[in-house]
Structure 1
Amino acid sequence: MVNMTSVVYLLPYLPLIVPASYVIDKKGIRFTLLLAASGNFIGSLLKVFSAHPNLFFLGLFGQTISSVAQVFLLSMPPKLAGIWFDANQISLACTIGILASELGIGASFLFTPIVVRDHANMNEIGNDLFMLFLIVGIATFTILVLTILFFQEEPLTPPSEAQKLKSQESSNTIKSFKALLINPPFVMLMFAFAINIGILNSVNSLLNPILLLHFQTNGERLAGNVGVICVVFGVLGCFIFGILLDKTKKFKELSVIVYVMSVIGMLAFTFAVASENKIFIYLSAMVYGFSSSYLVVGCETGVELTYPESEFNSSGLLFGISFTTGGIFTLLFTFILETTSDFWSNMVMVILLTIGTVLTICTRNVCKRQDALRPYNLNENVNQKIEKF
């Protein structure tokens, strides 16, 4: 059932990204974020009333509503960064936006084992789930109120020349997605992103069953700790690579570095779990968690490959295909886990990540957005020299 809720949360993304893009093009980002915040609150509210063994499908329905809401949210950071920030701040701003989802995942790893404990009495488990869902419901309601009160559509003036040019162009949702899907470098990036983030989502879903095979006592707590470590180092990696992207503009080179780290991290985690040494498991989680900065590097690389197409559309396709593969991978790795062992399940992940690394190396290095911003950067440098003089 846990895997079912995970799959339900992952699969709706791809078929709904085109309607979500149409909504944001026609109604704007404020309306879209209000719609997403409302959906999250409604989904959370339904789950509050589902904390009973006979109401599992009500909770599944609430999870489905939340999964639809997150279609509008996860692709928003690159769009917001392009609207609100200038050329030297875009990647870091996008990083901070993406980190919000990572911090949410980290909070779930940290607090879920604390709030929901393993009891012999099902009613006590239901009470714990009710408390967890109530906390989430209060949080989503607070976010909805804050969005209504404080979020603005856009700044009075575009922060960069590239954004000014984009704001003067008319957008067509279907044509935009067609342009993305016939862009060879972006298609290769899309497959690499699907493998990397799809496996990341699967690992988040399968940490419990993997570690419980080796640590029957306090295995849930260990899985929570490993998840928190992955998120903490993922946040650190995102900040570091976000700054490096802004400073160096080496999008492909940094993509390759992060992807190689994901292969090394997953390989280390595989053998650390097999050794049943908790210290090794924590160390490997640090390395693999650091590689989750590919969320930022991949999204920013996608924008560079596809400019002047909408950042929401490019990142939406990346997240859409990765969430779809995440759902498929979760089912596949669960099957391998149940029929063979966690070692072979993890090794299949390593093989897939190696394929993704090859795809990343073979992706043509194109920086269309940076080319559009170059006159802006030259003018900015000249102005800075004049001010110093």
Structure 2
Amino acid sequence: MLKNGQIEENVLPIVRALKKRWFILIMYIIYATISTFQWVEYSIITNIVMRYYNVSASAVEWTAVVFMVMWPILVFPASFVIDKMGLRVAALIGCLATAIGAGVKVFSVGQNLFYVVMIGQTVIAVSQIFILSLPPKIAVTWFKANEVSTVCSLGIFGMQFGSALGFLLPPMIVRNHENVDDIGTDLYKMCWGLTAVITPVAFLVFFFFQERPKYSPSQTQIEKRDNKEEVTLSVFFSSLRTLIKNKSFLIHTTSYGFCYGVFSAVGTLLNQFILNYFEGAEKDAGRMGLVMIIIGIAGSILTGFILDKTHKFKESCFVIFLLCAISSGGLLFSLELRSKWLVYLAISVFGFFLNAYMPAGIEFATELTFPSAESTVAGILLATSQILAVMFTLTLSAINKTFGTFWALSVQTFILLVGTILTGFTPNILRRQEAFKKNVQFEKVPQDRQ
């Protein structure tokens, strides 16, 4: 290239992480929080919802189970849309559908309107397919290579924090009044509150959420931009075939599904588990769910930091999974002792490891499948997880009703032990780290040469 009559040497593409990346991440965290709040908002007050709408416990469980059912049905169309249309379109669909679903439920207050609740929950369940698979895509698109695992953990923080609020706030807002009309008033307040919060967030996402930054944050992203292939149905299904043939990914997907499935089942059935041991303890059930998630958030963020420093993805997954199984047994033991303070302690430890596994599992999957599209990888991972979540939730619910909570939690602990063994058999292949190492010299280019 000529400049002022001379050949310009060492012209390199600009590698720069913009400050706006944090604003993009914060917007995502906020609307992911509002979406996942609505996953457990009815199931955590199952007994109250049963009274108001005159429905069975199983019907209330389906307000949460519908989130798990929609994933395997729509994950591949949604993944294609994300890969074809990009990050901004996925963010818009996820956020706007969450707002629409919350708005629908404003009209669900009435003892014969439980079907409207289910319509609203189904719309939000669809929105989550465009939300929960985005953290790894946001991380690699907007952030530096040494920030990816931490940012993925922070993205998952939105999901976890939403679940935490979903456990905490509904029992505080919707009280078990003797007069069912008063319950309806409380439900109305909760539905309007969600709509009021999500509406301005939807406007922010519409006007300020960008597809990608002006400059690539890493040399690996520059290469992906330069070599980006137009996404067609043929290309998309070819990438799916590649993933399905990846035995390491398939083993890991199954073990991840075991952990996520248990997480979903516990979130859905926690109210019933706790009330079987402590009568009239609806608020305690909500607080225990909150503690499980809040302590888990700390575990999730700590895991992301450790992975960025050590890159020990498989080892971290195995140790965390084993500790999940052990702490699940501890939760069962504490419930059998009927000691509330011990249950709070046990569920804190259980939540710490259960939530810590989420970012570790997603990051390990990304390593095993690089350079496959992150959203497609996460979509398949979560679709399998949701299928297993439905199976585990319905199975543990049936065991709980037929044989009792002791046996339901015993089966849960066994599932986690099987997942630990599967993790041990997963090959430790770190393809993304190998790509980062090849390009590390480009990351260290002096600023005056960028």
- TM-score of the pair, normalised by structure 1: 0.96
Match of 1:240 in 2: 302
Within 5 Å, which residues of 2 pair with 1:1-389? 1-167=59-225, 168-170=227-229, 171=231, 172-217=235-280, 219-291=281-353, 292-380=355-443
Give the Å deviation of 1:261.
1.5
Cα distance in 2 between the residues matched to 1:118 and 1:139:
25
Give the Å deviation of 1:240.
0.6
Give the Å deviation of 1:235.
0.6
Cα distance in 1 between the residues matched to 2:358 and 2:441:
29
Which has the higher mean CA deviation after the structures are superposed, 233-242 or 321-330?
321-330
Cα distance in 1 between the residues matched to 2:321 and 2:416:
8
The answer to whether the 8 Å contact 1:13/1:71 transfers is yes
Cα distance in 2 between the residues matched to 1:222 and 1:261:
24
Match of 2:35 in 1: none
The answer to whether the 8 Å contact 1:198/1:323 transfers is yes
Percent of matched pairs sharing the same residue: 34
Give the Å deviation of 1:36.
1.2
Cα distance in 1 between the residues matched to 2:336 and 2:305:
36
Cα distance in 2 between the residues matched to 1:322 and 1:25:
21
Cα distance in 2 between the residues matched to 1:185 and 1:289:
27
The residue identity in structure 1 corresponding to 2:305 is: I
Higher helix share: 1
The answer to whether the 8 Å contact 1:94/1:296 transfers is yes
The answer to whether the 8 Å contact 1:162/1:369 transfers is no
- SS at structure 1 position matched to 2:150: helix
Which has the higher mean CA deviation after the structures are superposed, 157-166 or 308-317?
157-166
The answer to whether the 8 Å contact 1:261/1:287 transfers is no
Cα distance in 2 between the residues matched to 1:140 and 1:66:
12
Match of 2:18 in 1: none
Which consecutive residues of structure 1, in runs of 5 or more, have no partner in the other structure?
385-389
The answer to whether the 8 Å contact 2:313/2:364 transfers is yes
Cα distance in 2 between the residues matched to 1:91 and 1:61:
36
Cα distance in 2 between the residues matched to 1:159 and 1:113:
43
The answer to whether the 8 Å contact 1:6/1:327 transfers is no
Give the Å deviation of 1:90.
0.5
Aligned residue-pair number = 385
Give the Å deviation of 1:198.
0.5
Cα distance in 2 between the residues matched to 1:2 and 1:90:
38
The answer to whether the 8 Å contact 1:18/1:173 transfers is no
The residue identity in structure 2 corresponding to 1:243 is: F
The answer to whether the 8 Å contact 2:218/2:443 transfers is no
Which consecutive residues of structure 2, in runs of 5 or more, have no partner in the other structure?
1-58
Give the Å deviation of 1:379.
4.6
